[in-house]
Amino acid sequence: MSKHEAVPANNGNAAPEAKLSRASVQRFSLYLRHLERWNAEGLQVVSSSQLGEALGINDAQVRKDLAYLGNLGQPGIGYYTQELITALRHRLGVDRAWTAVVVGVGNLARALLRYRGFGEQGFKFVALFDADIRKIGQAVEGLTVHAMDDVSSVVRATQAELGVVAVPAENAQSVADSLVAAGIKGILNFAPVTLRLPGAVSLVTVDLAVQLEQLAFLVHLAQNE
C-alpha cells in the first residue's frame, strides 16, 4: 500500500471516525458479510464476541469499531442484526449503486464480470477498455470493449466512479493515470505494482501472490508450532 491508499485525512474535526484505519475499513466489510449471512439464517441479535470470533479479533476491538456507527449496541443484549446491517451499509456507502469500468479484458476481467457477488452488492460494470485492437468492438458479458483513447469520453458519458485495473504490471500506472484524468474516484488494482495516485483518488490493491503467501504462512505455522 502506498501512502495514497491511506484513508483520506480528516477535515479537522476531532470526531472518532476521522482516524479510521485501513484495517477497520476492511473489518467493516467482513462484519457486513457475517451479519448478512446470520440475518438470512434468522439471527435477530448478535454480540460483539460472536463478531469477534468470526473475524478472529477480540470483543473490545469489535465494540470500538462498531462505536463508529453510533450508539447501536444494547448492554447485556448485543446488536440488533438488521439495524447493524443497515447502519453498516449506510456508513460503507453501499446502500446505493456504484458504477465501475474495467481496463484490460483478459481472463481476470472476464472472471470479475461473471462474478455475481458484485451485482448483489450494488456494483454495476458500465464499460470495458483494452489496448488490444483485436478486442476493441467485441462484446464481453454484454459490454462493448472500447479503445484506451476513449477512456475519457466513455467515463464521462457513463459517469463511472470506480475503475478496475486488470492489465499487466508494466501498463498499470499509465492506465491508472488515464482513469484518474477521466475523473475516476477510486481504483481497484490487480496488477502487482504500487500505483501512485493523487490523494483524492482512493486505491485498493489485491495482490494475489500475497493471498497465497498468507496461506503458505498459516500452513507453515500449523506445521511448526
Q: Which of residues 129-188 bind a second copy (CB under 8 A)?
A: 161-162, 164, 185-188
Phi-psi region of 137 (alpha: psi -120 to 50; beta: other; left: phi over 0): left
With respect to a second copy, which residue has the nearer C-beta, 67 or 74?
67
Output the smallest distance, CB 183 to a second copy, in A. Answer: 12
Among 43, 45, 94, 180, binds a second copy (CB under 8 A): 94
> Residue 184 to residues 28, 115, 122: CA-CA distances in angstroms?
23, 22, 18
With respect to a second copy, which residue has the nearer C-beta, 94 or 126?
94
Instruction: Establish if 56 lies at the interface with a second copy (CB under 8 A).
Output: yes
With respect to a second copy, which residue has the nearer C-beta, 150 or 161?
161
Stretch of 41-49, 75-83, 143-151, 210-218 contacting a second copy, by CB under 8 A:
210-218
Instruction: Establish if 214 lies at the interface with a second copy (CB under 8 A).
Output: yes
| Rounded-to-integer distance, Cα 216 and Cα 128, Å | 34
Closest-CA residue to 108 (of 188, 45, 176, 33): 188
Hey, which residues between 58 and 77 contact a second copy (CB under 8 A)? none
| Rounded-to-integer distance, Cα 98 and Cα 159, Å | 10
With respect to a second copy, which residue has the nearer C-beta, 41 or 75?
41
Residue identified by cell 448478535 is 46
Q: What is the dihedral of CA 165, 167, 168, 171, to 10 degrees?
A: -80
Hey, which residues between 16 and 45 contact a second copy (CB under 8 A)? 17-18, 20-23, 25-26, 28-30, 32-33, 37
Instruction: Establish if 85 lies at the interface with a second copy (CB under 8 A).
Output: no
Output the smallest distance, CB 67 to a second copy, in A. Answer: 17
SS3 207: coil
Exposed/middle/buried for residue 104 (C-beta within 10 Å: 0-12, 13-18, 19+): buried
Copy the grid coordinates of residue 101.
469500468
Among 39, 106, 171, 183, binds a second copy (CB under 8 A): 106
| Rounded-to-integer distance, Cα 190 and Cα 174, Å | 14
Instruction: Establish if 215 lies at the interface with a second copy (CB under 8 A).
Output: yes
User: Where in 105-200 does DSSP place strands (E)?
Assistant: 123-130, 139-140, 143-147, 162-165, 186-189
Instruction: Establish if 218 lies at the interface with a second copy (CB under 8 A).
Output: yes
Instruction: Establish if 220 lies at the interface with a second copy (CB under 8 A).
Output: yes
With respect to a second copy, which residue has the nearer C-beta, 77 or 221?
221
Among 42, 76, 93, 198, binds a second copy (CB under 8 A): 93
